[in-house]
Amino acid sequence: MIKYKCRPAIHTKIVCEYCEKINFSLPSEYAHFKYLPDEELISFNTITNLLNYIEKNTTNPYFFIDLVKFLILRLEAFTKIDLSTNVSNASKLLAFTQFYNQVSDLNWCSIETEDSVGLVAKRAKQSLASKYDDLFIYVSIMHVLKFKNEDKSNIIMELPFESGFYGNNIDLLDNVKFNCENLSVFVKKDERDGANMLPQYLNNISNIERISAAAKSISPAELSLISLANRLGMSTRTLQRELKVDDCCVKDIIKNTKANSIVSVLNKNNSNIKVTAYECGFKNLSTFSRHFKNTIGCCPTEYVNSLKSNSI
């Protein structure tokens, strides 16, 4: 059983798009993420590593606060949760929790009492935690529940660590309790809510999907059997054995992932081969051309010319 944790690419994409908008340069290893579909699964930790990189290299200590507005607009469209006044806040919170539990490896659970429902996100000790996991949930919930317009007595929000852990982002936080071990949000039910509101859901991410998520988290230039096995925390032989059970070949996953990624980047770059090579992590065009031919079956210029011919 593969234990590699996954989440949708959208969160990483949003940050990459925002950095491009403000002309903040990211390492080439992150360039290919913005071309993935929002729902594609990638490494659970990619977004945290990316935000930590930005924090260490930006001159703006409030970059995450500036990112929030950009973040919320994209996430609302992605989750497709009904945020109208026709739906109770309790139902919105459950829908939010259910959606992300279905598409991610999140350690979240829903709790229901006689008069409220809650989201509890379990946390490890502070030395292993990321403040951005808590901040992402906070700003999303604040938006879903219209937090600033809501009677604050109807919402209880608890964060796991002391306020200093969240740094300059403390300005985002309002009406929260700190040092509470886990992140939790509890919302009072209203007259539209009945008993037994908790939905039934299962996380059904397969071994193949987890391996593919790891492959998509590696730039095409660096993706190989060895790098994939290392990313998954296992030997190459163990990886091949795990996939054999599912009657699947790891080399096929690697080749298909490379091909899809390179072609997607090339097409969205309007067939600009040089830019595509960089964004796929290749240091020079000759190496890119060799990889392209081995993966796609023809050299980049032949592929581009065939696209032009087909469009005539």
Per-residue pLDDT band for 185 (boundaries 50, 70, 90) equals very high
Which distant-in-sequence residues (6+ apart) come within 8 Å of 172 by Cβ?
A: 64, 65, 68, 135, 138, 139
Tens of pLDDT, residues 223-242? 999 999 999 999 999 999 88
Amino acid at 271: S
The pLDDT > 90 percentage for the chain reads: 62
Q: Which residues pair with 118 in a beta bridge?
A: 111, 186
Q: Is residue 12 within 8 Å of 30, Cβ to Cβ?
A: yes
Taking the C-alpha atoms of residue 296 and residue 224, their distance in angstroms, rounded to an integer, is 16
- Residue given tokens 């060799």 in the structure block: 290
Which distant-in-sequence residues (6+ apart) come within 8 Å of 56 by Cβ?
A: none
> Looking at residue 311, what is its pLDDT?
59
Q: What is the reported pTM?
A: 0.87
